[in-house]
Homo-oligomer: A and B are copies of this chain.
C-alpha cells in the first residue's frame, strides 16, 4: 500500500501535465545573448467562462513518509505550480478510472522545476518539503465549481524512493 517517490521527469509526468524547467537548449536567446527563453512550456487549459490568473500560495511544509488521504481535481482548468525557492516539493498525481483516482504516482522535484497539472487530472494538495513553501500558481479564475475531492477509502503511505 506504499507509494515510492520518483524523480520528476517530463517523460514520466507527460500523462499528467507539463514539467516547467530549463532542460534542453533554450528556444531563443534574448537580451544580447545573456538570457535563454524556454518558450510556452505549459498547456494552459481553461473553460470559456474562466481565464488564467497568477496567485501566490504559501503552504506549511511536510516531510516523508507522508500519509495520503485526499486527492482532488479541477474540472474547469489546468493548474501550474511554480516554486519561488529551489527547495523540492512533492507532486502526487493519479490516473482516472471511472471517476476515481487510480495508479497513484508521487514525484519529487529538483531545484528549478515547476509543474503544470492538466485540467481534470487527479492530484494531491500542494506539498512543499521545506519552508517557506512559497509558490506562484497559474490557474483558472472564474465562476463555477472547479473542485472535486476524493477521500481515499484506505490511506496510502508515500515513502522516499
Contacts and interface: CB of A to CB of B under 8 A. Distances in A.
Contact of A56 (B21, B84, B134): B21
A129 interface: no
Contacts of A26: 58
A41 B56 contact: yes
A118 to B, nearest CB: 14
A126 interface: yes
Contacts of A40: 53-55, 141
Interface of A: 20-22, 26, 30-31, 34-42, 44, 51-60, 80, 82-86, 112, 114, 116, 125-126, 132-134, 136-138, 141
A38 B22 contact: no
A41 B132 CA distance: 19
Contact of A134 (B22, B80, B132): B22
Q: How many copies does the complex hold?
A: 2
A44 B138 CA distance: 11
A42 B57 contact: no
Given A34-B59, A82-B82, A125-B31, A20 B54 contact: yes
A1 to B, nearest CB: 22
Given A44-B54, A54-B20, A80-B54, A125 B35 contact: yes
Contacts of A54: 20, 40-42, 44, 80, 82, 116, 138
